[in-house]
Structure formats: C-alpha cells, structure tokens
Amino acid sequence: MSRKLGIIVPYRNRHSHLKRFLDRLPKYLDNRNYNYEIIIVQQDNASAFNRGTLCNIGFQEAKRLRCDYVVFHDVDMLPINVDYSFSSFPIHLATQDLPFETYFGGITLFPVEDFDKIDGFSNLYWGWGFEDDDLMYRCIKNNIQLDRTSKKFDNQNRGTIKLNGTNAYITSPNIIKYTRDFSFGIQLTLDKITLDHTKNSDTFTIFSVEGFDFRIFYSSFKRFSVQFFDTNNKFYQLYSSIFEGSQNFLFINYIAKERTLIFYIDGIEVGRQKLTSTLKNYGNKKDIFLGCSPKKEHYFNGSIEKFLIFERTLKIEEIKSLCSKPDIGCSSNYGEYKSSLFLKTYYDSRFIHNYRLIDLSSNDNPGDIFNAHITLLGSKNVKVFHKPKRRKSRYETLNHESNGFLNGRWKDDLTRWNQLRYTNEVLNGRYDKVQDGLSSLEFTLHGKSRKGKVHYLNVGI
C-alpha cells in the first residue's frame, strides 16, 4: 500500500470555490492512484478566520485517519500539474508564481513526524497573513530539512556607517540638477527592523529631499520604494519585489528628455515611470538626507557604504559593473564603467575625517554624519538564507479579493497585528519557549460528516 496522504483544506464562506475544488481534486488524485483522504475544516462565523488553527485541527484528523503525510491546501488553488507524492521532508508545492523566495503558503506538504516536531502552526494569527512565515521560522528553529543558500560578503574589515534606526542620519549638499539627466546610487546593508505598534505601517528612509518629497525607503512590506512628484505636483511611486535583509546597491536614473525615471537594485531594473511633465525641481533645497526624512523621522536601521551622484544617466552596463564590484573605487573608470568624469559627489564609508564623509570626487561636497556609529562590517561575512524545498507546479488560481496591502497599508488591521507579532516578537525569540500550536490547540467540534474520501469538520475556535 502506498503512503497515505491527508489533504487539509482550511475553509470558510467560499462555496463556489469549494465546489470547483471538490470537482477537480478527487478526480486528479484518483487518476494518479493516490491513497488519500480530503479533510475540509470549516470555521464558523463567531470569530476572525484562523488558518493556522484550522490546519492544526485538520492535521489531528489526518493522524486519526492514519495518514503518513499531509498537504495544507488553499481552496482557491486547483491542480493542473502538482506532484503530491510523499516526501520525508517538507516541500512547498505552490511554486508557479512565487511572490518572494521564502514564501511557504498556498500548498505545503509535511511528513507527519516533521509537523509534530515543530508543534504545527501557531494558533495566534487571526485574519490574513504571517502564519506561513511563522511556520517557516519553526522549521528553521527545529532544524527541519530546508534549502540553504549562502551569500559571501568579503568586506575585508570594511569600515561603514551604522545608522541606528532611532536618531542617526547623514546630510549631503543637494547638488543634483533635477532639470537635467542625472544618476545616483546608494550601497547599503539592511539590519533587522523593529515595527512601531502605534502605526499602520512602517517606512525606513534611505534617501530624501524636502518639499513634495523625493525619497527612497524600505518598508515593513519588505520592499524598496521610490516616491517623487512632477512639476504639476502629480505623485508617482515605484515598488520593488520583496527583499529580505542583505547588502544592496540602489540606483536611480533620470532621463530628462524622455521624462523617465528608472529604479535599479543590484544592477536589475525593478521599475520605470514616464512622467506626464518634467520631474519636480528639488534643487532649491539645501540638503539631501540619507537615513531619515527631512523632518527627522522614519529613520533607517542599517549601514551606508557608498553614495554617488553623477551629472549624467549611467548605462545599465555601468550600473551592473558598479554593483558587481562594490569594493572597487569609483574615481577611475574600469570595465564597463566609463562615467568617472561625471561624478559630482562620491562617499565611501572607509574614508571619514572628523566625523565627516570625504568627497572622493574632488568636488568638495563632504557629508555630515549625525549620531551614527563608525564601525566595521567584518571580513568574509557569510549570511545563510533558508528557503523551502520545492517542486515545480502548475495550478489554476480562482479569483477572489486580495487581502494584501493597499495605498501603503494592510487592508485588514488584523494583518498588521500579525505582522507586529511575527516581526517584533517571534523573530526576536520571545515565543520560542511558549506552548503554541498542536500542544495548545482548543476548538469546539460542531459537526462532522463524510462523503466518500471527503471529510467535513465544522468547528468553532
């Protein structure tokens, strides 16, 4: 007899989705000779939806049915080509369009032993989001088999400016000619972020100019963003995809004749915007702020390694050269980089005198450092990144209203609380010794039925 699979579907108020799911999945499994049970765990309407708890309840039922492994399956994902076969370690199966590298939701397979070992899902995430991030964290903390990649940062005891996220920042003379072509770049290292529970969302400013602010920031949505206005005060914003904490080199190109602003990260274009009129002229402001907004808020927690301003737009090949060899000086041309003569401001955090950044472009535009710590990044630092093991898959996703973020904040306030709990408390280890999961599962069973290989549990939590 083949290994027995339990497919667990956390569910509430999606009748049309459930009908299509049950029309598709049993036929798909039968045609491939799987030995399976499907467990629909329906939550009543007495409280906010709790996916983690419903999955834990379904897992207990799967064990009672003597399943060897389980798949936690969203009801709006219908298989086209998904491999549900047994694995001795967790496998992420919702891999068609990954929103980010550590994504662990949608369709996730666990052998029973591993899910028991991590004590299942947390029961503390109500509403939408972060229960799958927490699940990934539990796998890491319990040494469950995952994919691991590493990135070497050969910094050779590189000096850097550490901004504390509280009151540290840098100012630079605002010498950009905003009516002409220009480029600027910022090399930085992200640090662990702490979120402000009094706010709906958090922004950590990297670059800003006062007025109708021109700024670059990292957000609590783990995205880099650039915001700016044109001469008609029309607002524009470009978002990156999700980035986890690491070293990054950000570049902005503005092509005046084409009225186009382009945003690059690590030599890759992440967004471009053609303006309806020319870029707002921010040249009447004295300073550029690195690490905070002009109002001295939204402070950045991390390190600034380089800041460069060019009085021309760089070619993509030049940006790639600068990003691929971040420890080579920029005062002279090398490789594809040909624009050193157009360099108007150039800071490298290894070159500081009297708590000021020396302008290595020889244009005498020093940077002033406030409340920052001058330190070393360390040599040959290796950062390990964990991500789920995966199988390629194809599936149909049924339409439903997105529960993500809109206009700079989460649609649902409960998602913000989930984010605060996960980022500020779980990642800082405060829940490591708290019983939360299968060991603390509480629910009321309102009804139970079966139709062939499909089991229905109606529960209150």
pLDDT tens-place values along the chain, 461 residues long: 689 999 999 999 899 999 999 999 999 999 999 999 999 999 997 789 999 999 999 999 999 999 999 999 999 999 999 999 999 999 999 999 888 888 899 999 999 999 999 999 999 999 988 999 999 999 999 999 998 876 655 555 567 899 999 999 999 999 999 999 999 999 999 888 888 888 888 899 999 999 888 999 999 888 999 999 999 999 999 999 877 767 899 999 999 999 999 999 999 999 999 999 999 999 999 999 999 999 999 999 999 999 999 999 999 999 999 999 888 899 999 999 999 999 999 999 999 999 999 999 999 999 999 999 987 655 445 567 789 999 999 999 998 776 665 655 677 889 999 999 999 999 888 888 889 999 999 999 999 999 999 999 999 99
Do 96 and 196 belong together in one domain? Answer: no
Do 236 and 140 belong together in one domain? Answer: no
Strands (DSSP E) found in 63-136: 69-73, 77-81, 91-92, 107-111
- CATH of residue 86's domain is 3.90.550.10
Query: What is the DSSP secondary-structure string of 152-215?
Result: EE--SS-EEEEEESSS-EEEEE----TTS-EEEEEEEEE------TTSSS-EEEEEEETTTTEE
Do 246 and 288 belong together in one domain? Answer: yes
Residue at which a domain ends, from 332, 354, 381? 381
Do 123 and 89 belong together in one domain? Answer: yes
Reference 37, options 451, 458, 394, 460; nearest CA is: 451
Do 168 and 309 belong together in one domain? Answer: yes
Do 348 and 199 belong together in one domain? Answer: yes
Do 134 and 174 belong together in one domain? Answer: no
Structure confidence at residue 437 (pLDDT): 96
Structure confidence at residue 151 (pLDDT): 62
Task: State which residues form the domain around 429.
Answer: 4-146+388-460
pTM, two decimals, is 0.82
Residue at which a domain ends, from 316, 349, 381? 381
Region of residue 124 (left: phi > 0; alpha: psi -120 to 50; beta: else): alpha
Do 164 and 137 belong together in one domain? Answer: no
Residue at which a domain ends, from 350, 381, 412? 381
Do 52 and 26 belong together in one domain? Answer: yes
Cβ atoms within 10 Å, residue 142: 11
Q: Is residue 320 part of a domain?
A: yes
Q: For the chain, how many structural domains are there in total? A: 2
Structure confidence at residue 385 (pLDDT): 78
Q: What would the two tokens of residue 252 be?
A: 């902005």
Residue 317 CA: distances (Å) to CA of 181, 226, 320, 331, 336: 17, 22, 5, 17, 6
- CATH of residue 209's domain is 2.60.120.200
Do 169 and 309 belong together in one domain? Answer: yes
Structure confidence at residue 83 (pLDDT): 97
Structure confidence at residue 154 (pLDDT): 52
Q: Tell the residue number behind the tokens 């700016």, with chain if given.
A: 228
Structure confidence at residue 389 (pLDDT): 95
